Amino acid sequence: MRAQDPAPQDPTSRYAAKDVVAWLGDWVVTKGRGYLDAVEDLRVEAETITAAVKGTRPRPYRVDIRFQPAQSGDLRPRFYCSCPVGGHCKHAAAVLLKALEEREHPDQVRPEVLNWVQELRRLADTPKEVKRTKAAPSFRLFYLLDGPDARGDYRVNCYKARTDTLGRPTGALQHWIGFERALTTPPQFVDEEDLFILRLLWNHHPRERHGDALAIDGRQGDEVLRRMLATSRWLMDRETRLPWRLGAERNATLAWRPDARGRLHARLSSRPESARAIPLDPPWYLDPLAGETGVLRTQVPPHLVRQLLTGPALSPSEAQVVAATLAEVAPDLPAPALDSDAFRLIEAPLAPILQVVTAHIYGLSGYRDYSDEWNRRLFDYAVPVFRYGEHRFGLDEKREFATLASGETVRVRRDAVAEARLIECLAELGFTQIPPHVIYAARPLPRPSFGLASEADWEDFKSTLLPRLREAGWEVELPADFRHEYVDVEDWQAEIGESAPGWFDLSMGIVVEGRRLALAPLLVGLFNREPRWLDLRTLEAIPDQATVALDGPDGRRIRVKAERLKPLARTLLDLFDGGVQQDGRIRVARLDAPRLAELAESGRWRLRGMDAVRQLADRLLRTGGVKPVPTPPGFALELRPYQQEGLAWLQYLREQDLSGILADDMGLGKTAQTLAHLLAEKQAGRLDRPALVVLPTSLIFNWKHEAARFAPGLRVISLHGKDRHAQFEHIAEHDVALTTYPLLWRDHEALEKQEYHLLILDEAQTVKNAGSQAAQVVRRLKARHRLCLTGTPLENHLGELWAQFDFLLPGFLGDAKSFARAWRTPIEKHGDNARRALLARRLRPFILRRRKEEVARELPPKTTILRTVELEGGQRDLYETVRSAMDARVREAIADLGLNRSRIVILDALLKLRQVCCDPRLLKSASARDVRERAKLDLLMAMLPELVEEGRRVLLFSQFTSMLDLIRAELDQAGLGYVELTGATQDRETPIRRFQDGEAPIFLVSLKAGGVGLNLTAADTVIHYDPWWNPAVENQATDRAHRLGQTKPVFVYKLIVAGSIEEKILALQEKKAELAAGILSEDAQGMDKFGEADLAALLAPLP
């Protein structure tokens, strides 16, 4: 049985005068004390206090105070007042203080009662009558009657709605308040009968009151109700939308009934009993059970009914005053009296009930054995209730009177001694009353509430305390979803079988009461309720022995220890997001066999089908070791030991029908290892189809050159240049075909006709955008095996790594959306290193990465030198002018569009500042043309002649080809020889050969055109004229010189403008490097997402 809500409390018992001062202030409270005698119709309910306060206007102000708990557990009121101030006013202060005064002096006769009695005297001699008419029915405008309010008034609310063929409202009821305008220009949905009703109501509507409802009173109320009934559009409520029916007249007598505080109210009692009596002339009843309304016939003069029914609740002393007055002015009417003998006595046995409730809380502090927690979400407590027959009383309710559903007030004989003995029994069983202010929740616990010593006591409640409570006579009401209603797991089972090619189906189950339940859907429900299970950092904080509840399919809760679930969450966390099928199975890629093997070893499972999984896991993890492979005969390069291992790894991938990424550092010979692999495939007879190599345009020459030099036995065809179309029909006659990324989408039809033995992507990060045309084409090409070559598999974000694996092993990492949700967002945005480590373990079998410092220690040293220069004069002024203008523009864009949608404006701002640093002439503006200073170019031209004179061979990189044009002009003027390679260079082989042969000491290279793939070991000096965001791009460019074959120390110069955006770029580079290292190795700690703080730093003024 669901626990019933505990009995409400009087709010005046929970605040004092000092609280009123704290809420409203000394000045307001001081003014409010002058209005204590102006408070009328004070009504104190469980969570509200309402009253009317006479002010400067003809009609009293209506005050409505509603109480709600604060997070601290204190009572916090919300104020409404119809005065111009609106709430936090002297009228509200007067009402709060008046309520306290009545609590402290409950038997003092209030001035308002004396005023009411005086009005009762006056009305006793002035009977009135009202004419009644009847009108024809109509449609479309509907009426609802609300009340009584704090003054005892009833009001008519009007709604417009569409009607069906029977005139019933359909669709939404739209509140309508256009009364005044309708009287002169009625809308179509207001007919003549509606206008008559509206005029009757409007004629008695106070002009100073601007409300959304029209008051109804005794003078015209009878006719209004009859006309509303006649329309069949006076509705009982907004839910059922049933119209009231006119019922028979009922005889009624005046009766006085006590409320929960023992104060007396006047009411009209009828047979049959009705829910409400409307004080009109004559009075009307509302009987929602019968759906009827009609006239009450009573001996009480109609003009006295309203005064009596809307009168204040009377204390015993006040009841004596009213009784004396009625004896004088209306001796035939019953007088108010708290004579218990006048009420029907209910004698029923005491039935104690303990209502168990679970509250949603923010935290708790200082309660028994509970630790002080601020992340606790649920707290259990119990509320004792005493039932006598159908009547329930809370522990703090000392009253004996109760009101039946029929409206009759009865007296219930209670057994105070037995109730006290039952409360003592609760204490003996471990329950204690919960003090105020130890629980922090949106709503305070009802008072009094009782709690147990700890959470563990509630976990054992049903097995230990519940039988003892019942033995002591308590009836215990547990909610249907009682969170400690547990059944235990009898067995843990798992089955693994192959489904579609490349996939396993993992079926995990638990046995509960002899029935096997699919475990995965239960875990999905748990993880959705408690996201801490999907965050590996908070997961580790869950104690192994903590009890965890799983929601069973039949509503029962299954109890398990956290130690049984943590390995599942830790190992398979990404698969619970969209990977659980309808039958409860989890689809796992065969390549994830190491994860399944790890899971099998982490728990006490009864497993079936694990043999194949363990064998595959052993192969993927290479527990037996990759067998050494000899260098193929005829390969004209002596492979270093690590290159020999790379060849063996490539052969292993082919043998296991796997794909992977050879991710050695730039300069460690990935091309040579791949050529050795291709030659071995040919000599073994497996290269019966050509291998297709897709690479950047700048590497065509390098691949052709190294293939001819190291593997002359391979027949290589280059599908590049204007005459390439004639070569397509000869692809099958060759061992290796070379094409470029820019040509893929142009030549895709010819390339897709051929099937390949091996598809290789060199500088595979080029297809990091999975939606690009090149990326789509490579996914359509048919090949037995696939391989990626890249020194930087991850440059900017994890999405690039996903794009490469989506090409290599489609489906292994899911789709882009699920990968971002399960991996990219937690790792990149939240710094989840535990999840990063899990992803690294999954990818490790398919990535071979060696660092230069680990395997090529014989390389000469590389020295990085930072050369800074300060802006001066006009160039400094230009930088600050541009910075200030772009800062304002960026802030405005972010305010209007947000950070993500302001990307174009931000990039434009950063570009302009970088251009000013490089050379003012890059900024195409009139103010820039007048600037004569060029600090960085002057520094460069001071360095180059000296470097050349020392015999240095210099690679000079810039992202701006226009900057290279300016540098070229300076070199010409200085008489320094150079060659150049940019995206516009048609003949790439000639400048490379001239530089390598020593014909030119300086090689100008655009970062995009020459930053990857080139072998320029003739250089011993690298100058980065301007920094780029991504350190991997700069490192790739540097390694054109610092690579195998280099015999001289390499010096790397970075030219930086001090205090400018360029210095900030260097700081951001470190974060990019951490992201890559975190996935490709085990030594990174975290990373940050570029955000507004980074942007503010980039746009900071010069020091």
* Position 1081 pLDDT exceeds 50: no
Q: Determine the 3-state secondary structure of 1065 from DSSP.
A: helix
Q: Return the SS3 of 924.
A: coil
Is the model's pLDDT at 884 over the cut of 70? yes
SS3 290: coil
Report how far residue 350's alpha carbon sits from residue 440's, in angstroms, rounded to the nearest whole number. 34
Average pLDDT over residues 889-894: 85
Averaged over 1038-1066, what is the pLDDT? 76
Q: Which fold has domain 862-1098?
A: Rossmann fold (3.40.50)
Whose CA is closest to 49, among 73, 77, 76, 25? Answer: 77
Q: Do the domains 641-855 and 862-1098 sit in the same CATH topology, yes or no?
A: yes
Q: pLDDT at residue 55 above 90?
A: no
Average pLDDT over residues 639-666: 87
552: which 2 tokens? 């069973």
Locus of tokens 């398990």: 560
pLDDT range class, residue 1080, cuts 50, 70, 90? very low
Cα–Cα nearest to 40, from 311, 446, 293, 230:
311
Q: What is the pLDDT of residues 701-738, one digit of tens each?
A: 778 888 988 999 999 999 988 888 888 989 999 999 99
Is pLDDT larger for residue 136 or for residue 36? 36
| Residue 65: partners with Cβ closer than 8 Å, 6 or more residues away | 48, 49, 50, 77, 78, 79, 80, 92, 95, 96
- Tell me the pLDDT of the chain averaged across its residues: 80
Mean pLDDT of 332-357: 81
pLDDT of residue 3: 38
Lowest-confidence region among 40-44, 322-326, 860-864, 888-892: 860-864
Residue 675 pLDDT > 50, yes or no?
yes
Tell me the pLDDT tens digit for each residue of 969-1018: 999 999 999 999 887 887 778 888 888 888 889 999 887 776 555 667 77
Mean pLDDT of 1084-1103: 62
pLDDT value at residue 599: 65
Weakest mean pLDDT among 15-24, 158-167, 281-290, 399-408: 399-408
pLDDT (average), residues 123-140: 50
Lowest mean pLDDT among 445-459, 496-510, 516-530: 496-510
Measured over the CA atoms of residue 1072, residue 1077, residue 1083 and residue 1087, the dihedral's sign is positive
C-alpha distances in Å from residue 1101, one per residue of 382, 887, 913, 1075: 63, 10, 11, 29
Burial of 951 (0-12, 13-18, 19+ CB in 10 A): exposed
Helix, strand, coil % in the chain, rounded to nearest 5: 40, 25, 35
The residues near 67 (Cβ < 8 Å, ≥ 6 apart) are: 11, 14, 47, 48, 49, 75, 76, 77, 78
* pLDDT of 396 above 50: yes
- List the domain boundaries for the chain: 11-105, 141-335, 344-477, 486-621, 641-855, 862-1098
- For 834-859, what is the mean pLDDT? 76
Binning pLDDT at 50, 70 and 90, where does residue 872 land?
Answer: confident
Report the distance separating Cα 777 and Cα 438, nearest Å. 65
Whole-number Å distance between alpha carbons of 928 and 1014? 36
State the Cα torsion 1033-1037-1043-1049 to the nearest 10°. Answer: -120
Number of alpha carbons in the 13 Å side-chain half-sphere of residue 784: 15
User: Of 1014, 975, 974, which Cα lies nearest the Cα of 995?
Assistant: 1014
pLDDT reported for residue 685 = 92
660 phi and psi, to 5 degrees? -165, 180
- What pLDDT was estimated at residue 838? 76
Output the pLDDT for position 475.
Answer: 94
Level-2 CATH architecture, domain 641-855 = 3-Layer(aba) Sandwich (3.40)
User: What does the alpha-carbon distance between residue 306 and residue 315 come to, in Å, rounded to a whole number?
Assistant: 20
> What gap in Å lies between CA 539 and CA 826, rounded to an integer?
14
Type of residue at 403 = T
Question: What is the model's pLDDT at position 1042?
Answer: 61
- Mean pLDDT computed over 918-944: 86
Q: What is the pLDDT of residues 748-762, one digit of tens each?
A: 889 999 999 999 998
* Burial group, residue 131, by CB count within 10 angstroms (0-12, 13-18, 19+): exposed
Three-state secondary structure call for residue 525: helix
Mean pLDDT of 1066-1094: 53
Q: Please tell me the predicted confidence (pLDDT) of residue 499.
A: 66
Residue the block writes with tokens 């800074």: 868
pTM beyond cutoff 0.85: no
Contact 388, 412 (CB under 8 A): yes
Band the pLDDT of 426: cuts 50, 70, 90: very high
* Helices assigned H by DSSP within 429-561: 455-459, 466-471, 519-529, 536-540
Alpha carbons 1093 and 1099: distance in angstroms, whole number: 10
**Residue 273 — pLDDT band, cuts 50, 70, 90?**
confident
The percent of residues in the chain predicted with pLDDT above 70, rounded, is 82
Asked if residue 805 lies in contact with residue 793, where contact means CB atoms within 8 angstroms, the answer is no
Quote the percentage of the chain above a pLDDT of 90: 19
Query: pLDDT tier at 5 (50, 70, 90 boundaries)?
Result: very low
Strand-strand pairing, 234-235 and 141-146: parallel
Which distant-in-sequence residues (6+ apart) come within 8 Å of 646 by Cβ? 662, 664, 670, 673, 848, 850
Note the helical H segments in 535-574: 536-540, 562-572
Is the distance from CB of 1018 to CB of 1028 less than 8 angstroms?
Answer: no
In this model, does residue 680 exceed pLDDT 90? yes
Count of Cβ atoms closer than 10 Å to residue 919 Cβ: 23
Q: What is the pLDDT of residue 408?
A: 67
What spatial distance separates the first Cα and last Cα of the chain, rounded to whole Å? 72
Give 578's pLDDT tier (boundaries 50, 70, 90): low
